[in-house]
Amino acid sequence: MSGLGVLEAPTRSPVVKEHVLSVMNSVRAKNPNEPEFHQAVQEVLETLSPVLERHPEYRSARILERIVEPERVLMFRVAWMDDQGQVQVNRGFRIQMNSAIGPYKGGLRFHPSVNLGILKFLAFEQVFKNSLTTLPMGGGKGGSDFDPKGKSDNEVMRFCQSFMTELSRHIGPDTDVPAGDIGVGGREIGYLFGQYRRLRNEFSGVLTGKGLGWGGSLIRPEATGYGCVYFAAEMLKTRKQSLEGKVCLVSGSGNVSQYTVEKLLDLGARPVTLSDSNGVIYDAAGIDREKLAWVMELKNSKRGRIMEYADRFKSAKFIPADPSLDHNPLWDLNADCAFPSATQNEINGRDAANLVKRGVTLVAEGANMPTTLDGVKVFLDSGLMYGPAKAANAGGVATSGLEMSQNSMRLSWTREEVDDRLHKIMIAIHQACETTAEKFGAPGHLVIGANIAGFLKVADAMMDQGLA
């Protein structure tokens, strides 16, 4: 089989190598046509060899074979009526991947590209990420191939109501607690929560990312972006540097991107790009607070396109997306740091090489699996500071965990209190990745650190709980 060996962690054991290879082969055979799921599993399995070498009991308990198999996969029809009175049909999903350390937790994605393989990759990643947060949360993910773009509020509401009518049978505050992701923001969470409450006749913390007046947590909207920047600041500290004055590339222009830019500004950096699926805006003068406020209004209220930024601000130029290119021009600009915050596989091997060539010395992943395996290898070989998604973007789900705690206690913490907890969690995650990488013979390798630290807690819980 191809591919193994890209990120391989140090191991001398042929038995372990054989074991990892056979699990990977079986994942490919049992889950055909799911390349993103294969990629996510491969990245984790390749880094676990040192653990499997030290802990043969995980091998005999077949932890790897079990951890790659979702506990439950739900797939369902979502029929709804559009504004013209036409019936529309979409497909809904919820992947309940692993609940060994807590209720399933992970976002819902509404995007036309959504399919089973993409959600399985996201659910698999979520298991390790949630474990890293130090909070008791299992891993799950869900969504639909529904595209909220261009739909009226009423259409989005009818879709969400139909989607939740089925999903409500499978979730609950102690079972499975979904949140937002691409295409699911405050508006969608509101409609989903309203329908759940109506169907179940209960007001509970069944979703996170709720509005502040009805159980939401302060800082939850900001958390993924803020957390990613806190993580980047920790990486820089290891080299006695800070974000002050650093020129930063940010992709996407949604939730994660907006709050990444906000926190970068707080810490004195100069963000110069944003993007969406139509292209990139490059503002060499910097995206300041006034421009960011304009982007937030454009994206969150007017639901416009990022190209409009270049009409409004003359210091910026718009580079339209060109699918015929083998690289993204966004990653071919001079900068110090990069924050991919749009979607999976948005940085390929060529993009990664361009970033290195352009002087980038830090990459912190706000999006999930934004870099292909080839790209990750380029980053690791170049020696730049690389913060993998599972660790760098865990602030979102960590703050969702804090929202769940507040809901259970029926109280609300202040903005400062939640932000302080988020900051401390990101510092702890960075520390855990560093220490674990060192302990397993790969100092500074945060991919190995994140994967092993996330894996150990889940694997031990699975061992303790017997065959399940």
Give the residues lining the site for ligand NDP (CB under 6 A). 111, 113, 180-183, 185, 224, 252-257, 276-277, 341-343, 366-368, 393, 396
Is the Cβ of residue 50 or residue 329 nearer to ligand NDP in the bound state?
A: 329
Residue 27 to residue 51: CA distance in whole angstroms: 20
CB 307 within 8 A of CB 298: no
Is the Cβ of residue 154 or residue 277 nearer to ligand NDP in the bound state?
A: 277
Q: What are phi and psi of 67, to 5 degrees?
A: -75, -20
Q: Could you tell me which of 210, 231, 167 has the C-alpha nearest to residue 400?
A: 210
What is the Cα Rg of the chain in Å?
21
CB 181 within 8 A of CB 109: yes
Q: Quote the least distance from Cβ 371 to ligand NDP, whole Å.
A: 12
Is the Cβ of residue 20 or residue 422 nearer to ligand NDP in the bound state?
A: 422
Is the Cβ of residue 26 or residue 134 nearer to ligand NDP in the bound state?
A: 134
Q: Quote the least distance from Cβ 67 to ligand NDP, whole Å.
A: 20
Q: Quote the least distance from Cβ 387 to ligand NDP, whole Å.
A: 13
CA distances from 426 to 81, 123, 284, 460 (A): 43, 21, 30, 23
141 among known catalytic residues = yes
Q: Quote the least distance from Cβ 182 to ligand NDP, whole Å.
A: 4
Task: Give CA torsion, residues 413, 419, 424, 427, to 10 deg.
Answer: 160
Is the Cβ of residue 43 or residue 181 nearer to ligand NDP in the bound state?
A: 181
Q: Could you tell me which of 298, 252, 303, 311 has the C-alpha nearest to residue 276?
A: 252
Q: Quote the least distance from Cβ 295 to ligand NDP, whole Å.
A: 10
Catalytic one of 120, 129, 141, 390: 141
Q: Which residue is nearest to ligand NDP (CB)?
A: 254
Please give, one letter per residue, the 3-state secondary structure of 293-356. HHHHHHHHHCCCCCCHHHHHCCCEEEEECCCCCCCCHHHCCCCCEEECCCCCCCECHHHHHHHH
* Residues labelled as active-site residues: 141
